[in-house]
Structure 1
Amino acid sequence: MSDYSPIGGSKPHGLFGRRRLLATVVLGAGALLSALILAVHIVNSSNDKGSICSDCAGFKSLSPAFNKSLDHILYNKDYKMSVIDKLAGAVKIPTEIFDFTPSPSENPEAWVHFQELHEYLESQFPFLYEKAQVEKIDGFGLLFTWQGSKPDLKPLILMAHQDVVPVEPSTIDMWTHPPFSGFYNSSEDLIYGRGTADIKQLVISHLEAVERLMLDGFNPQRTVMISFGCDEEASGSCAAKIAQHIENRYGPNSIYAILDEGGQVGEMDGVYFAEPVTSEKGYLDAEITVFTPGGHSSVPPDHTSIGILGDLIVDLEKDPYDILVEENNPALETIKCFVKFGAIRDQEIAKLLSKNDLKKLGTALDDRLALKYLFKTSQALDIVSGGIKANALPESATVLVNNRIGMHSSVNKTLEHIMKHVQSKAELYDLGIKVLTGRSSKEEAAEVIKPATKNGRFVIRLLDPLEPAPFSPTNGSQVWDIISGTTVNTYKQKLFGGEDAKVYITPALSTGNTDTKSFWNLTRNIYRYSGSLQYNATNEHTVDEKNTGLSLVSGIAFMYQYIPNVDAYATDA
């Protein structure tokens, strides 16, 4: 393991595992100062400017190493309907996962639909289940292993997840078609239902591409694995246990490359822009609770716990994180590519890019909601609660602050930002401060920043801390070149415009997180990319989630080529 540090971030102070946080306190001159120490999982990274592509147009079509069924996948209408039916059937199974869904060992009944999905997948892909080794990890994680003929070659991993975000019951009547109907509108080529976009499309795509290759007689030299986590939407541990299982079997740095959910291929005016995601932002949830004495509401204090929390919330929202544009952020390369080839038509951005004035570019991007959070930490006040009775003073009030940590920042810096405001309010209202880490930790294990007073205390619970991901290589990377060449060949098929189609490939950044966060120790070649054609109105995580049959078919076509291309053109050098 090397000393990975995010852009502009200080190096961690120790190695205690990615999810453990320690808080220490320094007192001086009457002011409370805190040093919050993050201990993170450190991995090899490539955070140098040379890792970023310089020309998103510089890729040629890669001739498929195996091409028996590509035309059938792209143009056979009966085949298209068959895979749409497979996706629709998977969508009908409500594998919802909640933030506090109990583990399979704690409550197996909560996971009954996952078992139903497993049985369904086996019924739809019988040849794959017969030929591949299928393992269940952590109860409901799935790992498929298609053994290659040359075990000395590093395996390839394809990833997705089985779970979906829950459907809010009060919104069901707002859906055009019921959320777990898997309804297909052939006139619009739209499949409706929770999971059509995030991310059962990729579950079906991976399994379909692999089984089609098996049926067509392709025999890989390099082992191919398919990993399906079961609690990605809750930042759970299922994928981490799969990753550990793989590492136990093959060792660290043992995988050739990983592809997971993330970037797709957008189309604008007949031009295709592919965005394999080469890094993702960090993460931290801070659950802040104010405890104060209760009593009768007819004799209230000047500020109840809700009032104090409201004061803190206002200050947090008035103090957003600073934007910083740096050369080695892959999002900058995305914007350069989009401006150069017309996907972004913004004269101010184009002018600042031509001058390479990154400071002024940051100021301009900070005014553009769709772009600014690629270059700064976000904070969202997502959940608030407090009080149970009109005539009883609230003894506690809680807010959850969700932070997606920018590439130039770190968990430490994010905690310092939050603590600055908590400490200010603790001084103002004479309150204590405790810090806990993880959902299961108890107050006895808290770090006491300031003892509780007669007025009460703040308790801050830090959940799921994660540093920004290491960069996956692009320039000079064989893995990147195979992804790019396969993409170009896919979108130069006649269905998408033929040989005259323009296809550009650019590295990209994800503002969200994927299960790949648990696989950093296995390879630096992690790309969050499906190769599928993007539909711009998927409504992920909300009412009327949907996707197109064309998106599904294009993703299968990409994967059908990509697996043999890696087998034929890759080396482990």
Structure 2
Amino acid sequence: MYWALGILFCLIAFMGVIIIRTVSFVPKSKMATNFRKEAVDFDKALFHFSELLKIKTITYTDISRIDETQFKIFKEKLRDFYPAVHEKLEVTYVEPRGILIKWLGHAHESPTVLMSHYDVVPVDEKAWSVPAFSGKIDETYIWGRGTLDTKITLVSILESAEHLLADGFMPANDLYFAFGGDEEISGPSAPAIVELLKSRGVKPHLVLDEGGAIVSNVFPGVDKPCAFVGIGEKGYVDLEIVLRGHGGHSSSPPPQSLTQKLAHAITALEKKPFPAELSPPSRALFNALGRHSTRLYRMIFANLWCFEPLLKWQFTKTGGEMNALIRTTVAVTKLKGSDAFNILPDEAAMGVNMRLLRRDSTKEAIDRVKQIIGGDFEINVVESREASPYTDVESAQWQIVAETIENVYAGIVVAPYLMLGASDSRHYTAIADHILRFSPMVLDDVELGRIHSYDERISIENYEMAIQFFTKIMRQC
């Protein structure tokens, strides 16, 4: 009988802890804000954006295809459109396509770097309903390649700076605008800018680059718009896995062909995913958004000590972005066998892309792949880089960005998260400890799907608010 009472007591205590933690797991209080819109000449800003979208600053992995005259024209247009920036600030052109602008502040020890890039990915004009480089403006949208990714941030930064210079503003600390011209091909401009800053002894207090946006209905149980701010990036590995042997005629195949062995390797990789882990960015995300979730989810996120295995199981089962947040992912993206239907290949290959949690180094991840697939495979590392460090969400730098978002965009929830993709900001880990990744845009699923796709466009309201956001950031930094 006493053991039964003991079990009952433990059960009551257990449920009490769950309930108390859930009840106290509520949204954190926010400081009252009084947003005052800056009096920017928005008609002129619209004209500038439209004209800059017409310039075909396309980068290709085959660099011989890049039309350098377009990049030269773009820089000349910037000089025409933003005369105060070019006359009063220090502008440096960093080869091959980088632009670095320094705005001297009252103090110099805690500079901020605002980043963007002005190169864009190629287009298939046949898929577009409007010309991809028309810069068309209708009653609601601005159309064109680069509206979302990411001429909007570059132009918004410069419109904000031009406005503030006209207002006689001088930043509290040095400000840098760092614009890459080959981000889409992981080009050398951003690394060159970082090396230049390093040679000048510049250690940024804050770096802000493209990243998460403001979206809705992407987190379990949360229906409010959420601003996702990247506090880190996953690591990256591309592998070419090759198997060689005897080919021959397809009419008399061997017991196990090269392609069969390759298929077994693919199946083995899918059956043995990397272990799940709630990394610091994931825990910070759940802590921020779980407080705004429905009662059941709030109970789960308030008590990760108990429900963490359940979350890992659920996210693993559903796959997609939530699964990618909690583990190093492995995706087979390329396959190669024979070029003919009736010939067995004497070489079969697959391309594997991996996105790494910080827990897994590139060497450890590659070794695990070798162990899983076994056999006589030749594994070649095409590209690799480690995961970035994480920015502390308790830092003053986080507070500046989060509070500015809350001030400009009323009624939204700001949440840290782990970037699944990559940006030029990864190069700044060599000189900066606090790097955040956020694009000031309110996007739905359709608009998110237009990035790197056809009919790319941004709403006029989004553009106007982006200028307001960067103006407030400059005043805060």
User: TM-score of the superposition, structure 2-length normalised?
Assistant: 0.84
Aligned residue number for residue 60 of structure 1: 31
Aligned residue number for residue 526 of structure 1: 435
One-letter code of the match for 1:153? E
Aligned residue number for residue 68 of structure 2: 111
Aligned residue number for residue 122 of structure 1: 79
Residues 56-98 of structure 1: CA deviation (Å, up to 9, x unaligned): 633325678xx7xx3424xxxxx44433333333333232333
SS of 1:335 mapped into structure 2: helix
Deviation at 1:283, TM superposition (A): 1.1
Residues 159-200 of structure 1: CA deviation (Å, up to 9, x unaligned): 011222223x4xx433232333333331xx222332211111
Deviation at 1:390, TM superposition (A): 4.8
Deviation at 1:248, TM superposition (A): 0.6
Aligned residue number for residue 455 of structure 2: 544
Aligned residue number for residue 367 of structure 1: 317
Equivalent-residue separation in structure 2 for 1:270 and 1:71 (angstroms): 30
Aligned residue number for residue 563 of structure 1: 474
Partner of residue 471 from structure 1, selected from 390, 400, 407: 390
SS of 1:177 mapped into structure 2: coil
One-letter code of the match for 1:60? M
Distance 1:335 1:534, change over 3 A: farther
Partner of residue 159 from structure 1, selected from 115, 128, 131: 115
Aligned residue number for residue 264 of structure 1: 213
* Aligned partners of 1:262 and 1:276 also within 8 Å: yes
Kindly, what percent of the aligned residue pairs are identical? 26
Deviation at 1:366, TM superposition (A): 2.2
Deviation at 1:404, TM superposition (A): 1.1
Aligned residue number for residue 482 of structure 1: 400
Aligned residue number for residue 181 of structure 1: 134
Deviation at 1:302, TM superposition (A): 4.6
One-letter code of the match for 1:425? G
Residues 359-411 of structure 1: CA deviation (Å, up to 9, x unaligned): 22211222333422111122222223343445554343332211111244332
- Structure with the higher fraction of residues in helix conformation: 2
User: TM-score of the superposition, structure 1-length normalised?
Assistant: 0.71
Query: Aligned ranges for residues 258-337 of structure 1 at < 5 Å?
Result: 258-266=207-215, 271-293=224-246, 301-326=254-279, 329-337=280-288
Query: Aligned ranges for residues 11-22 of structure 1 at < 5 Å?
Result: none
* Aligned partners of 2:292 and 2:298 also within 8 Å: no
* Aligned partners of 2:26 and 2:291 also within 8 Å: no
Equivalent-residue separation in structure 2 for 1:179 and 1:238 (angstroms): 25
Deviation at 1:139, TM superposition (A): 1.4
One-letter code of the match for 1:559? F
Partner of residue 415 from structure 1, selected from 345, 362, 366: 366
Equivalent-residue separation in structure 1 for 2:62 and 2:406 (angstroms): 41
Aligned residue number for residue 380 of structure 2: 461
Deviation at 1:249, TM superposition (A): 0.8
Partner of residue 242 from structure 1, selected from 182, 186, 193: 193
Equivalent-residue separation in structure 1 for 2:435 and 2:191 (angstroms): 15
Partner of residue 384 from structure 1, selected from 335, 338, 348: 335
Partner of residue 72 from structure 1, selected from 30, 33, 39: 39
One-letter code of the match for 1:562? I
* Aligned partners of 2:272 and 2:372 also within 8 Å: no
Alignment partner of 1:216 is 2:167: yes
Aligned residue number for residue 97 of structure 1: 59
Equivalent-residue separation in structure 2 for 1:491 and 1:236 (angstroms): 33
Alignment partner of 1:513 is 2:426: no
Equivalent-residue separation in structure 2 for 1:72 and 1:258 (angstroms): 26
* Aligned partners of 1:532 and 1:558 also within 8 Å: no
Residues 314-368 of structure 1: CA deviation (Å, up to 9, x unaligned): 3323333332224xx22333234333224xx584x43422332212221122233
Deviation at 1:297, TM superposition (A): 5.4
* Aligned partners of 2:48 and 2:81 also within 8 Å: yes
Aligned residue number for residue 38 of structure 1: none
* Aligned partners of 1:141 and 1:230 also within 8 Å: yes
SS of 2:173 mapped into structure 1: coil
Equivalent-residue separation in structure 1 for 2:254 and 2:295 (angstroms): 53
Equivalent-residue separation in structure 2 for 1:71 and 1:564 (angstroms): 11
Unaligned runs of 5+ in 1: 1-53, 74-78, 427-457, 493-501, 567-573
Deviation at 1:263, TM superposition (A): 2.4
Distance 1:303 1:195, change over 3 A: farther
Equivalent-residue separation in structure 2 for 1:350 and 1:56 (angstroms): 11
State how many pairs are aligned.
444
Q: CA RMSD in A?
A: 2.8
One-letter code of the match for 1:488? E
Equivalent-residue separation in structure 2 for 1:61 and 1:200 (angstroms): 32
One-letter code of the match for 2:298? A
Aligned residue number for residue 143 of structure 1: 100
Distance 1:400 1:55, change over 3 A: farther
Deviation at 1:239, TM superposition (A): 1.0
Distance 1:331 1:325, change over 3 A: closer
One-letter code of the match for 2:289? F
Unaligned runs of 5+ in 2: 1-24
Deviation at 1:158, TM superposition (A): 0.3
Residues 527-551 of structure 1: CA deviation (Å, up to 9, x unaligned): 1123443444222122332221222
Distance 1:236 1:420, change over 3 A: farther
